[in-house]
Structure 1
């Protein structure tokens, strides 16, 4: 939600609507999505290279530690699916296009704000780990947050301007003015507090001598995300303003409304300003807009207290959600995307920083989503409402589709994607999916990712999901990843895992740490960004599938799996001729973990597959020569063999001192001024792979969905 222009009006320097508050020892309802959005950008964490999730975790941990120090008791509420009435759909479509534009702007090296694709997964996992009370709403969260704050008589922390309209006695704390980083101490009581700016509707309306019940009328006229009254909004409200500032229109509208005793009188006056043909539509829009801000008891308080499932979930459109999924959804242990797929037959895909000349990164993970849609739609018991929705949406076919909203070049586009069943899904029903034996649910996940049970048994349980996803990515990504992309990804996992260990263990990461912090800003290589965005998309939807299947494999800590700037730095270093020896300490736990990850991946794709992968080394063009490992000119094919020896053999067996000494420096110097023709190489191989019916990804696609 949100009221256009209201936030900047209230926070403008010539007003005094925000009052200082030494906040402590209280409950606090937190708008979770607003919190992680604001904190990620406030700390200038990586966006261009796919995100730095472990750095984001450190910020969130510090935030909640500081709340605890001040005896503040947080309750976090997250958005769920789209509103079942679709009244906000036009606004959502507009925002999706804005996010595409922002991702493209960032990919072009200009400033923009783009949240990494896995940020919500990381946030939910961490809050569960910290035991912070959390609820993921079934639909939009704003109204439920306000209803809970009213019931508990405590403030809301958010940046959403709608909380300037909800009449909450305990008020509203804007995140941008919540000084949580600088915990202060009261010199008289010796108790800690956080300095905040506090807003209440009552104090605000006093300055205009206006009935607070008129604020919803004001918000509806001005235009929120749900109601658009363009004719009334465009009237000359400035003439009622007592100010000549840029906010004269808002000031004038508030002054005009202040003359009326209540909403009914204001609506009657507004209708007189409307053409006769428009009066019914305007009256209906105003009535709906006012209703949006009326608060009654919601379902958050009962669920926070006793995990009580809301009655609204068993009636109307939301009844398509099986009862066993409701608790998991509300606890944030299941993706809210399944709500949109079941209720709306629609899913929005997150556009990342990628190569916008290539198809959307989410296309690689589409077969995973098709299995999710199959579990949701093909095995459900057909109630009357479900049949009515299916007939209404897809008349004339027994197939089920979900409309996916992604991008086509730089434009928001949609595509109907068929829900499918793999060969092991026959007879499964959504309502009883949680009762299925573990091996059945595991089989569905593995079949989707193209992994056999025998292969999986060779991998440690803690690594099974991330390695299976990496296998799927290697086989299905377009264009195909090179070896340096694979090694960079695995080294990122090594860094994430080892950096969470005690300080005595962190010393083994000194070389990677130096690469992470000691380099100047790295430019974006679009091919690398595109490939890692595909991997993140595959991981996101594999996590969703694993949760829908009630965790047949353990879920990894997402923040440990990817660190954007680091993996991009590693890829660049490897391309320039650095070896794995130069990035890992020989005999260290980090080296052993890398070998373990590498061997696990090789066991799933096969040694021949890895040998045939492109090296990813820098070169000018096919047919030209480059320096070999000992400084001699050598054809590219022979260079590939040398690189294969460096990367594919166990690190323990590599004893070539020359590679760690002079010749590597010479090689790096030779390549210092070269610019790899990445786009040419990528597109050529992309087309070749698409034409090859015997490529592993083609074989898998035929097998999985036969």
Structure 2
């Protein structure tokens, strides 16, 4: 939620705040707000699909700052869209705004579009850092307020709605929370974070000691995410607000202050509402009164007890139970963040929203590449949650076709389309509740069949990379424009870099182990941090890698829905957009992949294993066909090595000539390269 213009208004009036030295306390954190702000305010990449490794470092530093000050965080995440659909128009407008922002970023302009996998990365960081968190069934605001008042601790967010809620310990806006500036108390030597805390008491006293209960009416009249009635403009055009100070920045702030001064004249909401509707036509008054009352209820505390969840893990959404379409295991998984809100939206609303990335707006949406995966997800969710009629046998009922509504980008507009769910006749589970009873082998079979990958393809791949590699095979067959060898090489080298990062962090005292990977890590890190020409984005290249992220996102969701028959991959260091784009440019200069790994046997072997696994899933001439379909001048076509090349391959350290895909490792085997050697 959000109240138009309120956050900037209160920010210009410092008298509404108390200065705090935050330490030794619990704090309730609006998770959605936090991960957006940490990404956008840290100068992280927005053009190349996101740098999740850098984002991970920022999030770690944030929670380390809290720990130093003995601040105990409890993170609360939004769930699916409101099941009453009151916010649909707002969501559609935000979708349109994101499309325009993505287009602007793609052309080197301004804008804020969060990389696609940021939420899942954030949840993985919370799990690894053992930061307690919960994912609500829908909007989290009211649940946050209830918990904060139960524990009498502040709320950390940047949502103007929290200026309206009556919070016992106040609301700390993120932009005044100086977590990067830890201070030490002279008296106690305790560390603390300087912060400002919004005080609803100071706010109301500024407006002639206004009754706090009038603030929800103010929020509704001024306009929030749930209500924006044209009829209320009649009220604003006719009412005369008390004359106040007009040294404010813009008409919106003048209107906010005038409305608050006007409301302060009334003792309670009932009296104020009567004075609002008297300015409206008589035939509209009762309907508007009813709508105002119902909208104000959004600012009441909820009946959900997050305290029970954080103390003993026992939370099952009352709304979810009342809807009767989720088995208990799914409700628990949603609360623990083990299923995405995308899943609950598909089941409850029969509608999903696909988020735009920085992609080529002249081409089809990147989400088209993952359509077959989504159709299977919808098939699992919809067909297994429909009761067959008495005249139907279970078999006939399961063969019924269901559709779901998707919101996606079409060029630079928001498009609504109907997508047909897959009919899963060979999957033994005919009810969502029985997925827990289906064997792991059958669930794995459905996952791999969806991705069109045979199980022997990923057999030699490390467990945590099996899903990304299977998804990569799917991406090769569904990307438009088609994937070239250098795209695949760049992506896999990026994956190897993520593994190198993990090894460097976890190597401990094994110096020899670290020495083997240090140079390869340094070489790729140097490439990642190389200064790029601003605005010089290869938009078709970005489009191809955005499609991979779409496939990974939906493959990740399907794996979760199937109770993880494949190990859940570590997304925190799996993809670094700036690095992958830089590697692609290097490979186009006829640099070989092995040169970028600086002779590290471990890194080379992992890269070859991944490349060989993907190569075994496609025809030997796959990339030759791609090259022939789009001939390029001044470029050698990628070719399989002839027998005469084997001696040259054998001369390269760490290469396995028995790998039928090995010959694709470089375009020019006769060219020698010098590897950069950096000190760690």
TM-score, normalised to structure 1, is 0.85
| Partner residue, 2:256 | 250
| Partner residue, 1:461 | 463
The total of aligned residue pairs comes to 635
2:439 pairs with one of 429, 437, 440: 437
Q: Secondary structure of 1:20's partner?
A: strand
Residues 615 and 73 (structure 1 numbering): CA distance in 2 closer, same or farther, change over 3 Å?
Answer: farther
Q: Distance in 1 between matches of 2:97 and 2:188?
A: 49
| Partner residue, 2:403 | 401
Q: Secondary structure of 2:385's partner?
A: coil
**CA deviation after TM superposition for structure 1 residue 456, in Å:** 3.3
**CA deviation after TM superposition for structure 1 residue 379, in Å:** 2.0
Q: Distance in 1 between matches of 2:65 and 2:224?
A: 34
Matches within 5 A, 1:132-281: 132-208=131-207, 209-233=209-233, 234-235=236-237, 239-244=241-246, 245=248, 246=250, 247-281=253-287
**CA deviation after TM superposition for structure 1 residue 91, in Å:** 0.7
| Correspondence 1:520 to 2:519 | no
Larger mean Cα displacement after TM superposition, 488-497 or 501-510: 501-510
Q: Distance in 2 between matches of 1:197 and 1:447?
A: 54
Matches within 5 A, 1:661-672: none
Q: Distance in 2 between matches of 1:155 and 1:571?
A: 47
Larger mean Cα displacement after TM superposition, 507-516 or 80-89: 507-516
| Partner residue, 1:484 | 486
| Partner residue, 2:114 | 115
Matches within 5 A, 1:368-407: 368-380=373-385, 382=387, 398-407=400-409
Q: Deviations over 1:528-553 (max 9, x none)?
A: 11110000000000000000000001
| Correspondence 1:291 to 2:297 | yes
Q: Which segments of 5 or more consecutive residues in structure 2 lack a partner in the other structure?
A: 393-398, 506-513, 656-664, 676-680
User: Do the aligned partners of 2:316 and 2:328 also contact (CA within 8 Å) in 1?
Assistant: no
Q: Distance in 2 between matches of 1:310 and 1:642?
A: 59
| Correspondence 1:303 to 2:315 | no
Q: Distance in 2 between matches of 1:615 and 1:588?
A: 34
Q: Distance in 2 between matches of 1:366 and 1:303?
A: 35
Q: Secondary structure of 1:279's partner?
A: helix
Q: Deviations over 1:223-245 (max 9, x none)?
A: 11112233335336674241112
User: Do the aligned partners of 1:499 and 1:506 also contact (CA within 8 Å) in 2?
Assistant: no
**CA deviation after TM superposition for structure 1 residue 660, in Å:** 2.7
| Partner residue, 1:584 | 597
Q: Deviations over 1:463-505 (max 9, x none)?
A: 2101100001011111110011000001101111102223734
| Correspondence 1:359 to 2:364 | yes
Residues 427 and 251 (structure 1 numbering): CA distance in 2 closer, same or farther, change over 3 Å?
Answer: closer
Q: Deviations over 1:55-87 (max 9, x none)?
A: 000000011111011111111011111111111
User: Do the aligned partners of 1:368 and 1:541 also contact (CA within 8 Å) in 2?
Assistant: yes
User: Do the aligned partners of 1:241 and 1:249 also contact (CA within 8 Å) in 2?
Assistant: no
Q: Distance in 2 between matches of 1:657 and 1:103?
A: 40
Q: Secondary structure of 2:671's partner?
A: helix
Q: Distance in 2 between matches of 1:498 and 1:528?
A: 24
**CA deviation after TM superposition for structure 1 residue 278, in Å:** 1.3
User: Do the aligned partners of 1:143 and 1:295 also contact (CA within 8 Å) in 2?
Assistant: yes
Q: CA RMSD in A?
A: 2.6
Q: Distance in 1 between matches of 2:551 and 2:642?
A: 28
| Partner residue, 2:453 | 451
Q: Which segments of 5 or more consecutive residues in structure 1 lack a partner in the other structure?
A: 388-396, 628-635, 665-706
Residues 280 and 51 (structure 1 numbering): CA distance in 2 closer, same or farther, change over 3 Å?
Answer: same
**CA deviation after TM superposition for structure 1 residue 437, in Å:** 0.8
| Correspondence 1:511 to 2:523 | yes
| Correspondence 1:343 to 2:348 | yes
Q: Deviations over 1:92-143 (max 9, x none)?
A: 1111111111111111221110100000110011101111111011111111
User: Do the aligned partners of 1:216 and 1:290 also contact (CA within 8 Å) in 2?
Assistant: yes
TM-score, normalised to structure 2, is 0.89
| Correspondence 1:424 to 2:436 | no
Q: Distance in 2 between matches of 1:402 and 1:649?
A: 51
Q: Distance in 2 between matches of 1:238 and 1:536?
A: 53
**CA deviation after TM superposition for structure 1 residue 661, in Å:** 5.2
Q: Secondary structure of 1:197's partner?
A: strand
Larger mean Cα displacement after TM superposition, 584-593 or 39-48: 584-593
Residues 88 and 210 (structure 1 numbering): CA distance in 2 closer, same or farther, change over 3 Å?
Answer: same
Larger mean Cα displacement after TM superposition, 427-436 or 106-115: 427-436
Q: Distance in 2 between matches of 1:292 and 1:237?
A: 26
| Partner residue, 2:561 | 548
| Partner residue, 1:8 | 8
**CA deviation after TM superposition for structure 1 residue 454, in Å:** 3.1
| Partner residue, 1:698 | none
**CA deviation after TM superposition for structure 1 residue 462, in Å:** 2.3
Q: Deviations over 1:9-28 (max 9, x none)?
A: 1001x541122110111111
Q: Deviations over 1:591-619 (max 9, x none)?
A: 22211211121122243435544399xxx
User: Do the aligned partners of 2:380 and 2:424 also contact (CA within 8 Å) in 1?
Assistant: no
Q: Deviations over 1:202-227 (max 9, x none)?
A: 12101112111111111111011112
Q: Distance in 1 between matches of 2:306 and 2:429?
A: 36
**CA deviation after TM superposition for structure 1 residue 179, in Å:** 0.2
Q: Secondary structure of 2:617's partner?
A: helix
**CA deviation after TM superposition for structure 1 residue 54, in Å:** 0.5
**CA deviation after TM superposition for structure 1 residue 659, in Å:** 1.7
Q: Secondary structure of 2:225's partner?
A: coil
Q: Secondary structure of 2:153's partner?
A: coil
**CA deviation after TM superposition for structure 1 residue 641, in Å:** 6.2
| Partner residue, 1:327 | 332
| Partner residue, 1:97 | 96
User: Do the aligned partners of 1:237 and 1:253 also contact (CA within 8 Å) in 2?
Assistant: no
Residues 592 and 237 (structure 1 numbering): CA distance in 2 closer, same or farther, change over 3 Å?
Answer: farther
Q: Deviations over 1:16-56 (max 9, x none)?
A: 11221101111111000100000101111111000000100
